[in-house]
């Protein structure tokens, strides 16, 4: 058990049979009365984001999550299948647990899978991924000053703004945190 005053961004805890990861944390001390701790947390099983308010002195059950390297295999409707690269065990995750990772998943991609007591909860993408451009608007130089961009469609269906020189078939590097173009690979 940990005191709620120790909750910070990124800390995971268990409350009401759900596993939560703190996204935002604020400590509020009014003039009178006890302090309150306001957190915005994501349920790692369902993907739902909820605001929790605790009174100073409350306790929650802290947990330790394990991480292991896995390779993305395929999707079957809302289920996504991964394989542990060491034990070759197959892991299955629901689409709601993948959140922002879906536009970046390509077959054979290696990433980290977070689990608790053998239950796969979420995936952690690498900071950048290389993806192929499948559709690109034709761009004409002319009336632009500097930094002109166009929209392209990547192999996973995600759209990204890129410089005018990028064309169909190019492999580009995309930042998984910002969903923005970084460079040609």
Q: Are residues 119 and 76 in the same domain?
A: yes
Q: Are residues 10 and 56 in the same domain?
A: yes
Number of domains present in the structure of the chain: 3
Binned at pLDDT 50, 70 and 90, residue 141 comes out as low
User: By mean pLDDT, which of 51-60, 93-102, 134-143, 150-159 is the weakest?
Assistant: 134-143
Q: Are residues 27 and 76 in the same domain?
A: no
Q: Which residue has the tokens 């192929």?
A: 132
Q: Are residues 16 and 53 in the same domain?
A: yes
H/E run at residue 150: strand 149-154
CA distances from 171 to 32, 64, 129, 134, 135 (A): 59, 38, 10, 10, 12
For residue 117, the domain's CATH number is 2.40.50.140
Q: Are residues 49 and 83 in the same domain?
A: no
* Domain extent for 56: 2-62
The per-residue pLDDT for 38 is: 92
Q: Are residues 37 and 18 in the same domain?
A: yes
pLDDT at position 143 over 60 = no
The residue among 108, 124, 140 that closes a domain is 124
Q: For residue range 16-33, list pLDDT tens digits in order.
A: 888 999 999 998 888 888
């Amino acid at each position: 058990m940990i005191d709620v005053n120790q909750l910070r961004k990124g800390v995971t805890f268990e409350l009401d049979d759900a596993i939560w990861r703190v996204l935002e944390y604020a400590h509020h001390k009014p003039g009178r009365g006890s302090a309150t701790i306001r957190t915005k947390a994501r349920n790692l099983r369902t993907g739902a984001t909820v605001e929790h308010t605790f009174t100073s002195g409350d306790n929650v059950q802290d947990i330790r999550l394990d991480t292991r390297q896995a390779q993305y295999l395929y999707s079957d409707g809302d289920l996504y299948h991964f394989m542990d690269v060491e034990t070759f065990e197959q892991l299955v995750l629901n689409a709601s647990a993948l959140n922002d990772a879906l536009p970046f998943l390509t077959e054979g991609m290696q990433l980290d899978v977070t689990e608790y007591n053998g239950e796969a909860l979420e995936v952690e993408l690498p900071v950048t991924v290389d993806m192929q451009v499948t559709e690109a608007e034709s761009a004409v130089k002319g009336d632009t000053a500097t930094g002109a961009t166009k929209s392209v469609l990547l192999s996973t269906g995600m759209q990204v703004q890129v410089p005018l020189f990028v064309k169909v078939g190019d492999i580009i590097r995309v930042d998984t945190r910002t969903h923005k173009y970084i460079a040609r690979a």
